[in-house]
Amino acid sequence: MSDETVWERLARPALMTMTLGLAPFVPEPHIVEKVRRVAAGGGDMAPIDWFDLAFHGAPWVWLAFTLASVLARRTSAPAPAA
């Protein structure tokens, strides 16, 4: 196990989520548009739209996995000796 702090572990996935995960920023992020279309049934989505959803969604999955990993280590870590 490495000696990285929580912030060091979260820095890369957070940066990717804020940039690639939300790009383009105007008029709205692609991920928001694609999630809305999937929630509406996704019947009108072409294969490129599904790829776009996966491409812009990958940083969000990475961030969620890293957060879950950090939280799991914190809850399972033994209390420090006094």
Would you state the pLDDT for residue 64? Answer: 96
Question: How many helices (DSSP H) and strands (DSSP E) are in the chain?
Answer: 3, 0
Per-10-residue mean pLDDT, the chain, length 82: 78 93 88 91 90 94 94 75 62
The model's pTM is: 0.78
Q: Where are the domains of the chain?
A: 6-71
Q: What's the pLDDT at 58?
A: 95
pLDDT at 6: 84
From residue 13, alpha-carbon distances to 38, 44, 45, 80 in Å are 24, 31, 27, 28
